[in-house]
Structure formats: structure tokens, C-alpha cells
Structure 1
Amino acid sequence: MSQNPDSWTEAHDGRLSAMIDVAVAAGHHTLKYFRSDSLVIDAKSDESPVTVADREAEQLVRKLIQQRFASDTVQGEEFAEQAGTSRYRWVVDPIDGTKSFVCGVPLYSTLLALEWDGKPLGGVIFIPATGEIIVAAVGQGSWFKDDHAVESSPWKKAAVSTKSDIAEAVFVVSQVDSFDQRGAQSAYKDLEKAAWLTRSWGDGYGYLMVATGRADIMVDPECNAWDVAAILPVVVEAGGKFTDWKGIETCRGGDGVGTNGRLHDAALKMLR
């Protein structure tokens, strides 16, 4: 029987409990800059935006992990991998959805995953601006809170939808033209035509929607490990599936699709 996150304090020497605390601390830090007129936006080499909020939030994650688990590896979006000597690896995306963040849209997320020998142990999707959070640990289910008092409100068991007909499905994406960039325009059009509703509630928030049964299919035509390492256990522990477009359960396939499970084969057929 799965147990809610309040019982995870001793698991993996406190790492699963710390995973939640660290993600929430980093997410709260981003709010210092959210909708701030003084926010400075830089461009990376691939022209994607990055801000001081991204960098400081990731630095905070690394600092908090270093304080308690100095031997662990940390992989993140904004800085080079910090190699460790243990078999644990943390994977962080301090702001997943930086474009939404800089536009003042509240649907960006802070993502944090914990792995053991490269395999998922747990993950967190935290939406700082709305207070929503969903966390998962392998074998313990996915658990959700939906208000700003994340420290005190009760955890609710998260579950994907039971829809089995793609004509009834809600299909979400981060950015439509990302399909164009990999020559998969027809895949997007096929999914949009087949689904009941298509919306761009993307990035980590889209997967949170899938894991809580409010959306049914989320697709990433391109992604890095830090974009989806936390997503995989959250969706799977909620009863769904997360794979790359080849159908392999991995966060390092370069693309991703998360579904309620029942619609996974149908989605993959259109993506292939």
C-alpha cells in the first residue's frame, strides 16, 4: 500500500523528503523575480531565454543538496554537472517554462528528480505561482496539493484519467512550432485532429495536468533530461505512462510523451 509523502522522512537517508523541501525552496525563490519590472533576460547559445531567477534557484538547489548529501551527483540545466561519489543523482530544472515566467504567465514549474544508478526514485513538479505541487516516489504513488499552504494542507492521491477514446482526450503541448523544428508537423496535426481539445498548457504544468487526470496526453518533440526526469516517476506513479517517441521508458531519449496509459499506444502511433 502506498504511503503519502509525510511518511518519507527516513527513506534513502532522508533524500525523498529533502527532494520536496528543496524543490519548494527553489520554487519560492523564483517568486522574488516573477512579474518584476527589473528582471533581466539573457539569451543562451540556442537563443532560449535565461534569467537571474533560473540561475539563483539552481544554485540554491545545489547548495541545499551539498549541505546534506555532499557525495551525490547533481545535474541541472544552468550549470555543469557536479559529479559525486555516491550512486544517487539529482536532476533539476529550476524554471521549466522560462518563456512563460518572463511573460508573467503563472504556469511555469520547478522540477527536481532523484535517481539511483540512473533509475528514477522520485520526482517533484512544483508550480510556485499557483502553489500546486505533485510529488512521487517509486512504489509510493503520486501525491498532490493544490493551494499555497503546501506545508500544511493534506496530500491527495493523484491519478490519471480513465479515458480510452482519443476523441475524448485533452492533448497539451508546450509550443506548437517545436513539432515543426523536428519535421513532425503531421504528427501534431494528427493528434490535434484526433483529440477533443488541444491547448498549450505545456512544460511541467502539462504533465501535472496529465498526472492529476485533467489532461490525457502531453507531448515534447524535444527535451533534455532535466525537462522530464521528474516527470517520469510522477506520471508513472499516478497510473500513466511516460516514454520517448520510440516507446522506451526513459528521460534521456531526446523527446517525450506522457499519457494516462490507455491512450499511449494511440499517441505513439501518430508520433511515429
Structure 2
Amino acid sequence: MPPADALPFLTGPFADDLALALKLADAADAVAMGRFDAADLDVSAKPDASFVTEADLDTERAIRALLEAERPDDAVLGEEFGTAGSASRRWVIDPIDGTHNYLRGIPVWATLLALSIDGTPRVGVVSQPAIGRRWWAAEGAGAWTNTPDSGSRRIRVSDVSDLERASISFQSIEQWDEAGHLPALLHLTTRVWRDRGYGDALPYMWLAEGRLEMVAEFGVKEYDIAALAPIVTEAGGRFTAYDGSGSLTAGSSLATNGVLHDAILGILRLADGPTTGASV
């Protein structure tokens, strides 16, 4: 990854926070990669039947330890250890987004880091060390990613304005079916050029890079999407819940390149109909 002192975006009111978020990502990468694809990885089931690994726990511990040293007055929300503090500045952590991929040795997983102020994410970092990629943004400073030569480049959503040329991603058919919106998804797929269920954080980053025009999913928590929102919006996109609201706690997400957002919302609402189109 490019060294922080060589990055052109470290300016503006959130420069110090973004620099810290990148430092947190470095620490998280070191811990998570140290146990990735280990034959003796410790895995257990949570009460909700999802899995957690020793790496999830140790990665979040490492992030929290750094935050305690660097920002002791800030609050923290993490997937594995909950909430600490009640300050208006809150760091939001998903230590390993894509745990099921991680424990199977599939390299598509990420650490998600965000700084939220009064409930609005201002800084976001998504780090996928197993594939050597990282994305970051701070309000007013644009969205960026690393390059193969250890540099950085600014990213931007696509300017695709016709649904017939749009490529979209969803988490899974099962997820949309459980949420009661599968007919809407199926109808939308007939209106666009291409659809794929890529899953987790990566398609949002492809959206920010201009490679996709929509990503949407259900069953998400704040720590699943807080880091994604600033990157998408600073890249010129739009990030809402499925119902079009700006809430990060609505349990759903709908990210687009911006220009197609209202059209996609309209199609989904029409397909849902008056009885199944309630907010999720």
C-alpha cells in the first residue's frame, strides 16, 4: 500500500482521521493475513448461526487497541465486541467482512473502517489485503484506491444513464427472497444489461470505480456499510437504504452511480407493488 506521507488526499478537515484509519487498516491487515488460510484456524458459531474466527476477534482487538491509544475520547462500534463510549465521534468496525470466504480460504474479504460523526460516516476505508487492494475516502477529499506501483489514483462512478447498459450486483437470491423483494429483483434484471451476485464489500468498490451501476442488499448492520458509504458518495455515487432513505440502520442498502438511482428505485417500487413495497 502507498505510504501515508505520499498520498495526495491527506488534506482537509478529516485528514488526520483518514491517516489514522489507514494506519488502523495496516494493523488489521497484518493480523488478518497472519491467520488467513491457516489449517488450524479456530472457528465457532455465533447465536445467529453465522461464523466467527479467531482472526475476526484478534483483528478487532488490534483496531480497538490502536484507537484507545490514538483517540481515547471517541466511541467505538464493532461487530464482535459491540459499543464502547457514547461520543458523537464513533469509529465503526467490521474486522473481517466476508468471514465465510475467509474461513474457506477464498481471498475476497475485507476490513471495513469508518468514522461516523453525529451518525453520518465522514471517513471510510476498505482494505482487502489478500488481493492487494484498498479503497478510502474522506468527506470533501474524494475517493481513492491503490495502484500496482504502490501509488494511488482517484476513482469515479460511471456515467451510464441507460438501464439497458447498466450492470448490477446483489448479495444473493435467498437474501432478496427472505426480505420479500425477489420479484422486484427479478424484474429489474430484465431491464438491465447484466446482473451478478458478487456479494460483500467488493461490488460497492467496483461501483465506486465505475465498473458497476448498482449494488443492493438486505440484512446489513451499520458496521457492514458505514465504511462503504463515504467511498461511494465521494466517488460521485448515491448511497441509501432500499426505501430511499439515508438511514444506515434500516437493514438494507442501495448504492448506485447516482444518475440511475431514482430510475432503479422506481422500478423496484413498482415491481414490489402496494403490499410488498414496505421499507426494510
1:10: Cα distance to partner?
7.9
Alignment partner, residue 182 of structure 1: 179
Q: Which amino acid in structure 2 is aligned with residue 268 of structure 1?
A: L
Matched, 1:216 2:213: yes
Matched, 1:69 2:71: yes
CA shift in 2, pair 1:234/1:12, >3 Å: closer
1:5: Cα distance to partner?
4.7
Partner Cα separation in structure 2 for residue 231 and residue 37 of structure 1 = 31
Matched, 1:136 2:133: no
- Coordinate RMSD, CA, aligned: 1.8
- 1:163-216 per-residue CA deviation (whole Å, 9 max, x = no partner) reads 111221111122221111111111221222222222222211110110011111
Contact 2:14 2:123 in 1 (8 A): no
Q: Which amino acid in structure 1 is aligned with residue 194 of structure 2?
A: L
1:33: Cα distance to partner?
1.9
Contact 1:107 1:201 in 2 (8 A): no
Matched, 1:241 2:242: no
1:88-167 to structure 2, matched below 5 A, reads 88-147=89-148, 153-167=150-164
Percent of aligned positions with the same letter in both sequences? Answer: 36
Secondary structure of 1:271's partner? helix
Contact 1:5 1:17 in 2 (8 A): no
Partner Cα separation in structure 1 for residue 180 and residue 243 of structure 2 = 16
Matched, 1:47 2:44: no
- 1:58-97 per-residue CA deviation (whole Å, 9 max, x = no partner) reads 111111110111010000111120115x431100101111
- Within the candidate set 228, 249, 254, 2:251 is matched to 254
Matched, 1:82 2:84: yes
Q: How many residues align?
A: 264
CA shift in 2, pair 1:28/1:271, >3 Å: farther
- Unmatched 5+ stretches in structure 1: none
Partner Cα separation in structure 2 for residue 266 and residue 108 of structure 1 = 31
- Unmatched 5+ stretches in structure 2: 1-5, 270-280
Secondary structure of 1:194's partner? coil
1:8: Cα distance to partner?
2.3
Secondary structure of 1:135's partner? strand
Query: TM-score, with normalisation over the residues of structure 1?
Result: 0.91
Stretches (4+) displaced over 4 A: 4-7, 9-13
Q: Which amino acid in structure 2 is aligned with residue 182 of structure 1?
A: A
- Within the candidate set 227, 239, 242, 1:230 is matched to 227
Partner Cα separation in structure 2 for residue 9 and residue 217 of structure 1 = 30
1:267: Cα distance to partner?
2.0
CA shift in 2, pair 1:106/1:13, >3 Å: closer
Contact 1:232 1:250 in 2 (8 A): no
Partner Cα separation in structure 2 for residue 165 and residue 9 of structure 1 = 36
Query: TM-score, with normalisation over the residues of structure 2?
Result: 0.89
Larger C-alpha radius of gyration, 1 or 2? 2
Contact 2:97 2:224 in 1 (8 A): yes
Q: Which amino acid in structure 2 is aligned with residue 104 of structure 1?
A: G
- 1:78-125 per-residue CA deviation (whole Å, 9 max, x = no partner) reads 1120115x4311001011111121222212111000012222211011
Alignment partner, residue 264 of structure 1: 261
Q: Which amino acid in structure 1 is aligned with residue 55 of structure 2?
A: A
